[in-house]
Amino acid sequence: MSGAGGRARTSRLWLAFLLAPGLVVMTMFVVWPLLSAFRYAFYGFHGLVPAGFVGLANFRDVLFAAPFSAMTLRAFEHNLIVFAALMAGQNGLAYLIAFALLKTLPGHRLHQVIIFLPVVLSAVIVGFLWQLFLNPLFGLVNQALLLAGIQGPPWLGDSTTALGSLIFTNAWHWIGFPALIFLAGMQRISRETLEAARLDGANDRALLRRIIWPLVAPSTTIVVVLTFIGSFNWFELPYIMTGLNGDPGGATDVLGLYFYRTAFGGVSSGLQDFGHGSALAVLMFLFIASVSAIVLRVLRRREIEA
């Protein structure tokens, strides 16, 4: 130690040493690319090279010019459906499962391990597995229905069932995650609160709606925001199960697939279009960021009120 000045210098170097790697990696691979995405959206492209400022033309094309505008809107609607269905189906069921597990009946620990097992598997494995199961002729699902005398539909090939089949697969894959987040929230509620409510004559239903629901608000916030971001980033599952075009006839096309196809080219043609792709990415980013921010703010306020 050579006095206070030396100490300050070492400490400044020491701080820089600690912070630099993280800051450099974040800047190079998160912040810079995100900022560049905004810039590229205003350019036309020649292959991988920006070729001239085009103003808002890319945005105008993907939002208002046929046939792109119809594809954008269709994909966006599908994302909305996915979000709503996952909230109601997957997360609603997860909430009930969490409550059932809170009762600590025999086997509840094993059940936690079981419902969380698909969560650790890759969407690629889950997608392929269910694609095989949902095959109209040889798949497990329709073979089982056939035993009951029912001719099942071609789940992934019929435009009325395809998106629903993907949503079901997603719920099967992920349900353990919201369930255990809800469970963790419920376990933080003190025993006394629950006992007191019971003594007041509250049955399970009243308990779930009036006591637990407000008190797991922090868990709900996390589940809603993560489901929202996940739904609008949906890519792997539809890519594996119904292909890059969102077959059949675009019935499962979502923004993630549409963005990828626009940027890197579809199956039949490898034509890249980075300008329109960037414009789509920027719109998606702004939408996801602003909605999550609003949702987060509203739900956090609710947590405090509760």
Partner 1 sequence: MAERGERAKNALIQLLLAANAVVMLYPLLVMLLSAFKSNGEIFANPFALPAAPNLDNLRHIWGETNFVGYLANSLMVTTASVGGIVVFATMAAYALARYPFRFSAAVFLFFLSGLMVPLKLAIIPLFIEFDVLHLVDTRLGLVLIYIAMGLPSAVFIMTGFLRTLPGELEESGRIEGASEARIMLSIMLPLARPAMIIAAIQNAVPIWNDFFFPLVFITSDARKTLPQGLTVFMGEYNTDWGVLFAGLTLSALPITLVYIALSRQFIAGMTQGAVK
Partner 2 sequence: MRSSRIGGMMLAAASLWGMASASARAGDITFWTWRQEDRAAFAELFADFTKANPDIHVKFEAFAPANYNTIVSAALAAGHGGDVLGVRAYGGLEQLATAGYLKPLDAKTVPELANLPAEALAAESVRADHRVYAVAFASQTLGLLINKDIFAKAGVTPPTDWAGFLAACAKLKAAGVIPIANGTATGWMDEVMAGIFTGPFLGNGFMQDVVAGRATFADPRYVAALGHLLELRPFMPPGYTGIDYPTAQQLFLSGRAAMFAGGSFEIANFRKQNPKLALDFIAPPAPKAGEPQYVSKFFDGGYAVNAKSAHGADALKLVRWMGTTAYADKFSSLLGNISPIKGVTISDPLLAKVAKLNEVSVPYVMAVYFRYETPTGSELLQNGLQRMMAGSETPAQLGAEVTAGIAKYYKPFQKK
Binding site for partner 2 (CB under 8 A): 13, 16-17, 19-21, 23-24, 28, 46-48, 65-68, 134-138, 142, 151-159, 243-245, 247-250, 262, 264-273
53 DSSP β-pair partners: 43
C-alpha separations of 126 from 31, 118, 119, 294 in Å: 32, 8, 10, 32
Contacted entry of partner 1, partner 2, none for residue 244, CB cut-off 5 to 8 Å set by kind? partner 2
Q: Phi, psi (5° rounding) for residue 73?
A: -65, -45
Query: Could you say which of partner 1, partner 2, none residue 262 binds, taking C-beta under 5 to 8 angstroms by partner kind?
Result: partner 2
Q: How far is the CB of 295 from partner 1 (least distance, A)?
A: 11
Quick one: 15 or 56, whose CB is closer to partner 1? 15
**Helices 176-187/92-102 angle, 10° precision:** 50
Q: Is 133 in contact with 139 (CB distance < 8 Å)?
A: yes
How near is the Cβ of 137 to partner 2 at its closest, in Å?
A: 6
Neighbours of 199 (CB within 10 A): 8
How is residue 273 annotated by DSSP?
-
User: Which of partner 2, partner 1, none does residue 119 bind (CB under 5 to 8 Å by kind)?
Assistant: partner 1
Residue closer to partner 1 (CB basis): 5 or 66: 5
Spatial separation of the C-alpha atoms in residues 41 and 274, rounded to whole Å = 8
Contact partner at residue 103 from partner 1, partner 2, none, CB < 5 to 8 Å by partner kind: partner 1
Q: How far is the CB of 84 from partner 2 (least distance, A)?
A: 23
- Residue 46 binds which of partner 1, partner 2, none (CB < 5-8 A, kind-dependent): partner 2
| Nearest 10 degrees: Cα torsion 100, 104, 105, 108 | 80
